[in-house]
A = this chain, B = another copy of it.
Amino acid sequence: MHQSAGISIGYLADRTGLAVSAIRYYEAQGLVEPWRNAGGQRRFHRADIRRLSFIMIAQQFGFSLPEIRGFLKSLPGGRTPTKEDWACISANFRSHLDQRIETLVRLRDNLDGCIGCGCLSLPNCKLYNPEDRAAQKGQGPRYLMGDRPEAENDP
């Protein structure tokens, strides 16, 4: 199989707009796996241009490199990914994306209640509701917007 010489890291950098150092960093993070030529230099598959572009796009959507590595795991290791491989990974990616957007929209809508009440703090504020709070990412404030159910004015 005349797998060809592969492309150099510099060429890959030119084609993707990434810095050479970033590509080496991605390799260290297991996002791309070049081989080496006789002189020890990295050689990449032409398909890695697409792979790295996918990484850049996913980053724009706020996914971390480990999350992106997870997406990329579904791509075949031995051969060049086909249209179908990419369609599959894209669909998976898309569903995570939808989730992310929905979370933001829900938080925004909750915030709307706060703007309506004009104080960001009353019990009728939805961000204040435990169930809504549970949906938030990370730890979040224990008592959102500064009030505990019982009191605003204890010691």
Question: Which of B56, B83, B127, B141 is A18 in contact with, Cβ under 8 Å?
Answer: B141
Question: Which of B49, B56, B146 is A50 in contact with, Cβ under 8 Å?
Answer: B146
Question: Which of B50, B84, B143 is A145 in contact with, Cβ under 8 Å?
Answer: B50
Residue numbers in B under 8 Å from A112 (CB-CB): 94
* CB within 8 Å for A15 and B146 given contacts A53-B141, A101-B101: yes
Complex contact B127–A111 (CB within 8 A): no
Name A's B-contacting residues (CB within 8 A).
11, 14-18, 46-47, 49-50, 52-54, 56-57, 60-62, 83-84, 86-87, 90-91, 93-94, 97-98, 100-101, 104-105, 107-108, 111-112, 114-115, 117-121, 127, 136-148, 152, 155
* A-B CB contact pairs (8 Å), 30 listed: A11-B155, A14-B142, A15-B143, A15-B146, A16-B141, A16-B143, A17-B140, A17-B141, A18-B141, A52-B146, A53-B121, A53-B143, A53-B145, A53-B146, A56-B141, A57-B141, A60-B136, A61-B108, A62-B62, A83-B117, A86-B121, A90-B111, A90-B115, A90-B118, A91-B115, A94-B112, A97-B108, A97-B111, A98-B108, A101-B105
